[in-house]
């Protein structure tokens, strides 16, 4: 039996030392829980985004990422004059969506959604062969 319970049972006033220790332990546990929660959320936020660099040859559209049954975003900025798009489906039932032209001024985003159940490809067409740096952001499973 703890001294706190014994003191209550026999009508004595509980000592201040026991409640101070309990309060300190509670504050320590709360601090540890908050720090742990912040560490988990920071790890999850960093794991969802990856910066990639691909060498793309000039000519037709080139695939930089292929996705199945997921949601994701590709964010591109340069090279100027390059065209990006999402191509859904499998041959002979493929179709293009979200075609955009890059201008090196602002970031352009391609969002892959529910139609990736069959297949989705992030594609780029560049005017001349070059390295392309882009960000791959996974939003779904």
In angstroms, rounded to a whole number, what is the distance separating the alpha carbons of residues 80 and 10? 84
pTM to 2 decimal places: 0.62
The CATH code of the domain that includes 59 is: 2.60.120.10
pLDDT for 45: 46
Beta strands per DSSP E along the chain: 49-56, 62-67, 72-76, 83-88, 95-101, 108-112, 120-125, 130-138
Residues 37 and 102 in one domain: no
Task: Tell me how far apart the alpha carbons of residues 65 and 20 are, in angstroms, rounded to a whole number.
Answer: 58
Average pLDDT per run of 10 along the chain, which is 141 residues long? 56 62 69 61 58 93 90 91 92 89 93 82 94 87 59
pLDDT for the residue numbered 46: 46
CB–CB of 72/140 below 8 Å?
A: yes
Within this chain, do residues 56 and 102 fall inside the same structural domain, yes or no?
yes
* pLDDT on residue 90: 85
In contact, 121 and 65? CB cutoff 8 Å: yes
- The 8-class DSSP code of residue 43 comes to H
Does 32 share its domain with 101? no
22: containing domain = 3-47
Q: Are 68 and 119 spatial neighbours (Cβ–Cβ below 8 Å)? A: yes
Same domain, 68 and 31: no
No. of helices (H) and no. of strands (E), the chain: 2, 8
Domains contained in the chain, number: 2
């Amino acid at each position: 039996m703890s001294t706190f319970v014994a003191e209550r049972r026999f009508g004595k006033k509980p000592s201040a030392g026991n409640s101070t220790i309990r309060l300190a332990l509670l504050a320590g546990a709360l601090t540890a829980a908050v720090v742990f929660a912040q560490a988990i959320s920071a790890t999850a936020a960093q794991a969802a985004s990856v910066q990639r660099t691909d060498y793309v040859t000039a000519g037709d559209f080139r695939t930089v990422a292929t996705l199945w049954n997921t949601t994701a975003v590709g964010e591109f900025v340069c090279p100027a004059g390059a065209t990006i798009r999402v191509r859904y489906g499998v041959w002979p039932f493929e179709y293009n969506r979200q075609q955009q032209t890059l201008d090196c001024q602002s970031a352009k985003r391609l969002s892959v959604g529910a139609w990736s159940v069959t297949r989705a490809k992030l594609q780029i067409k560049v005017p001349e062969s070059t390295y392309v740096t882009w960000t791959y952001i996974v939003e779904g499973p």
